[in-house]
Structure 1
Amino acid sequence: MTASVVLVHGGLWEPMDAAAFWGTTGITDGLSAALAPDGIEVLAPDRPQRARTWDVEVAVLGEQLAKRSGPVRIVGASNGCTVAVLLALRFPGLVDRLLLAWPATGDDAAANERAHAGLVHRGCPPAAADELLAGGILRGVTDEQVTSLTRIRVAVLPSVPENPSHQRKTVDALLRSIRGSRELAGCPEPPTPAFRTKNDPPYLDQLLRTIVGFVN
């Protein structure tokens, strides 16, 4: 069996894909190089960009997961954390580790109001926007589903610094709700200019070490 890491990119009805989120930022290549010696394959599928329900996204990515024979470790990013959680729940015998990175805040009226306006502006029907934003700590996921993630290893990676779309309270709520989960070193979200800013050490190096340490 070949273990796999599946990267689920962020975005919601935006012109965002895996190449822009994980590829141009150097994450896909960096993880592939670091994990290849251990026989771990890195996959970065595209999420449907204009799906009206989370079930549509889970069905598309689920087809790819269903083809895997070895253990799968999922890294969800921002709104992709919703898809990551739903995939982990749908494939309980396949997914053994789950990293929720920069989880999008779903339990905040102001954040959801801004997100709803953005969705409608980008062409999403208002009723579909309502459904996509419904949920608890995470959009599209009930808090009961979140607390049921107890049989797999779960970690949460915060946005540092926090921002209105990726608030610290969401990280804290996930850590409280998922028994045995732990927090990993945070950083800005990869597509943002802040992530690309050269630091000492660079955020890319830090993030690669953090993800490799968790999934390996």
Structure 2
Amino acid sequence: MTASVFLVHGGLWEAMDAEAFWGTPGITDGLSAALAPEGMAVLAPDRPQRASAWDVEVAALGEQLAKRSGPVRIVGASNGCTVAVLLALRFPELVDRLLLAWPATGDDAAANQRAHAGMVKRGCPPEVADELLAGGILRGVTDEQVASLARIRVGVLPSVPENPSHQRKTVDALLRSIRGSRELVGCPEPPTPAFRMSNDPPYLDQLLRTIVEFVN
């Protein structure tokens, strides 16, 4: 059966969508072109904006995931890593690879405080923000759930350089917790100006190669 790549964009209680995260930086088109010869479809759905709980997001994206007949390789980004993990746990018969890219730091009081303040400022009820930010290494999932991902192939792609919302310690904790997981070549998050800055090779080319190698 032909595999699919399922991209889960970042953001939390803000106007982020798949086009801004994956499309505009060139990732969706680049992956589609690179994986077309393999017969792989690339899907980049929008997460529900301002969802009241992680389960709301999982239910919405799960409807699309359930329509796939072949194996699915999920790429979660930033806070989308939470949704990606929960989807992998909900659909163990479909998801056989999981890439956690730029995982948002969930076990840091200062990071959660900043995130909470920003969410409330954007209209999120404080109690909803509390629920969404709760968790362990990753928001919205327990560390036991994270460890259970050892049954599938897992890659972790760090933010380089790290920043207060995407800290190196989160990458290290995931690598320790998920037996058999491995670190992939890191870069800045795609929506940021740093990702668009020229380097050698360009970050886009580097990221596309990394994802293609992981999902193949």
TM-score, normalised via structure 2 length:
0.99
Alpha-carbon distance between aligned partners in 2 of 1:151 and 1:68, rounded to the nearest angstrom? 20
Per-residue deviation at 1:173? 0.1
Superposition CA RMSD, Å:
0.4
Match of 2:184 in 1: 184
Per-residue deviation at 1:150? 1.4
Q: Deviations over 1:67-118 (max 9, x none)?
A: 0000000000000000000000000000000000000000000000000001
Structure 1 segment 104-119 matched on structure 2, within 5 A: 104-119=104-119
Q: Deviations over 1:153-207 (max 9, x none)?
A: 0000000000000000000000000000000000000000000001111000000
Aligned-partner SS, 1:11:
coil
After superposing on structure 2, the runs of 4+ consecutive aligned residues of structure 1 that deviate more than 2 Å are: none
Aligned-partner SS, 1:148:
helix
Aligned-partner SS, 2:150:
coil
Match of 2:54 in 1: 54
Q: Is residue 2:65 matched to residue 1:68?
A: no
Alpha-carbon distance between aligned partners in 1 of 2:198 and 2:14, rounded to the nearest angstrom? 26
Aligned-partner SS, 1:174:
helix
Alpha-carbon distance between aligned partners in 1 of 2:2 and 2:12, rounded to the nearest angstrom? 31
Match of 2:175 in 1: 175
Alpha-carbon distance between aligned partners in 2 of 1:150 and 1:186, rounded to the nearest angstrom? 21
How many residues were matched structurally? 216
Aligned-partner SS, 2:188:
coil
Per-residue deviation at 1:2? 2.6
Alpha-carbon distance between aligned partners in 2 of 1:4 and 1:114, rounded to the nearest angstrom? 35
Alpha-carbon distance between aligned partners in 2 of 1:213 and 1:21, rounded to the nearest angstrom? 21
Q: Is residue 2:19 matched to residue 1:19?
A: yes
TM-score, normalised via structure 1 length:
0.99
Alpha-carbon distance between aligned partners in 2 of 1:114 and 1:19, rounded to the nearest angstrom? 25
Structure 2 segments unaligned to the other structure (5+ residues): none
Alpha-carbon distance between aligned partners in 1 of 2:2 and 2:50, rounded to the nearest angstrom? 32
Alpha-carbon distance between aligned partners in 1 of 2:198 and 2:45, rounded to the nearest angstrom? 27
